Amino acid sequence: MNREELLQQINIWDAEKHHQEIINAIEALSQEEWDYELIGLLARAYNNLAMFGRKTTKEQHEMLEKAVALLESVREEGQEDDRWHFRMGYALYYLDRTAEALTCFRRVRELDPEDQKAVQFIVLCENKLDMKGSSDSDESSFYITLNLNARLQPMHRGDLEDALDELLDKSDIGFVDGGGTLMSPSGEVKSCDIQLDLNDDSEETIAELESIIDALGVPKGSKLLWTRADDETIERPVGRLEGMALYLNGTDLPEEVYKSCDINYAIEQLESRMDGIGRLYSWWEGSENTALYFYGGSYEKMSAAIQDFIAEYPLCQKCVVERIA
């Protein structure tokens, strides 16, 4: 079907609550065909699917985070579009990022004063924040963002969040309060954020957090971001790991190669050669290639360790190795 027919069909599916059909249809297109409107409709479908039917909290969060990532990829284009702000606010609200959601819904009201759904969500957000403020009135909190120069899918970022939260709890300095993933229009991850709620902003607490992050291991180019009481934004670099992406060609090799080779075997062999040097942290499957993301102490050592394998294994023909941290 052509674009006009697709948009008409999407409207029908949306009315019938066939949200998975919308996702399937848009994701079946090449990503070069995705534009601002289709990305927005795809994000809306993920939002709706997350809250429709029986799903675990983890499944809901993965879908909502996917919606956020899609919308982030067209943030600049969406600044004057009330639909963009509503869809972002909706996802953030159900991810318990209430203050950010409230900002989005207030922007919807500025752009479309007649939007009553936005009014309803504004009330919900304000009530939720009032309740949280009441329960936390005797406690001081300090919010800080760990911006990761890491290409981690939401589920892999979640693993890092769990490990970090455990270390923060042991040190008794705070906890993980959420996170998000920024994706490019192609769908490949660009970076991640982890939101932290610390007990205070003393230099001792920040130093303890830096020590925890260093022990956990995050890529170079990552940073801690926070705002002082005088509204000054502070940025402090963290991270000691280097990153390597291996892009496997998914379209230009003989069909027999794809049939006979096993990517899981390739990953096993690559990691065995990087034993003690680096390991696989995440991956991404695009329309034309599959990316494997490795992090370790040295990009040069990781790259050198795999050269014999990628030169011999058929699935690695025409692959690209790239430094990413």
- 268 alpha carbon, distance to own chain's centre: 25
- State residue 131's pLDDT score: 66
The residues pairing with 284 across neighbouring beta strands, listed in sequence order, are 291
Contact 226, 144 (CB under 8 A): yes
Phi-psi region of 47 (alpha: psi -120 to 50; beta: other; left: phi over 0): alpha
C-alpha triplet 57, 63, 69: angle, nearest 5°: 130
Tell me which DSSP letter residue 297 carries.
S
- State residue 154's pLDDT score: 83
| Strands laid side by side in the 174-183 sheet | 174-183, 189-198, 142-148, 222-227, 233-238
- Average pLDDT by consecutive 10-residue portion of the chain (325 residues)? 92 91 94 94 94 73 93 94 96 90 93 90 84 52 89 88 93 87 79 89 93 95 84 88 97 95 96 96 92 97 97 97 97
Contact 123, 116 (CB under 8 A): no
Name residue 186's amino acid.
S
Instruction: Record the tokens describing residue 305, joined without a space.
Output: 């360790």
Give the Cα separation of 257 and 261 in Å (integer).
6
- State residue 137's pLDDT score: 44
At 75-118, the pLDDT tens digits run 999 999 999 999 999 999 889 898 899 999 999 999 998 898 89
- Name the pTM for this structure: 0.62
Distance linking the first and last C-alpha atoms of the chain:
42
- Give 121's contacts (C-beta < 8 A, 6+ positions apart): 89, 90, 93, 101, 105
Contact 20, 28 (CB under 8 A): no
- 3-state class of 193 per DSSP? strand
Instruction: Record the tokens describing residue 121, joined without a space.
Output: 């969500």
User: Torsion over CA of 226, 232, 238 and 242, rounded to 10 degrees?
Assistant: 100
Q: How far is CA 79 from CA 119, 206, 251, in A?
A: 19, 34, 36
